[in-house]
Amino acid sequence: MAYTRDGRRWRLGTRTEVDWIAAGTVTGHSITSAIPPVYEAYATFHEPVDQGGGVVLQERALVRKLMGHSPGLPWWLGYLDTGAHDTVFGDAPKVSLYADWSYVLVEAGPEQALTWRTGHLRSAAGALPDLFFPADRSWLVSALWDDTWTCLGGSAALVRALQADPLVAARPVRLSEPARPPGAVQE
């Protein structure tokens, strides 16, 4: 199934594209509540306190790093349907993940991840999808509905790059640790 936006047709995802996430995540406080335990390394990061330009700069820095770890591949973009936030294709069929949350899943890319939406759960200035990963699944970014941080799984090199970037300032997390960053609030 496909939907049109920006003069192009975009393929919608189905349960098939996210079964690997559903099968590998468990309810709880560890990183595996958002990211399956299939990656070499894991991290979390907060959005900057500055809810204006800082969020935009952080999102662009994150996407630049992610593009370097999946060059040329399409990305699956997942927009959580909260009833209050833009899902990009509002009437599109949805897939269920985590605690039966509904996501619109679209095959697109980094440019669309940065531009299709304005405002998300964590920031009115943010644009990124709530869930996204490249076609080869080499990394996964997921921000759960009730968390104020974002979780990531990928290569150790990717996590080190995101940790070293002052705009992202990712914090490495081991599978056995709580995912909540120090000082973060869980709603």
Report domain extents, the chain.
2-172
Q: Could you report the average pLDDT of every consecutive run of 10 residues in the chain (187 residues)?
A: 85 95 91 95 81 77 95 94 79 90 94 84 72 97 83 97 94 88 64
Q: What is the dihedral of CA 18, 170, 118, 100, to 10 degrees?
A: 30
- Say how many residues make up the chain: 187
DSSP bridge partners of 132 = 77, 141
Whole-angstrom distance, CA of residue 71 vs CA of residue 63 = 11
- pTM more than 0.95: no
> Which residues are within 8 A (CB) of 46 and not within 5 positions of it... i.e. 6 or more apart?
148, 149, 150, 169, 181, 184
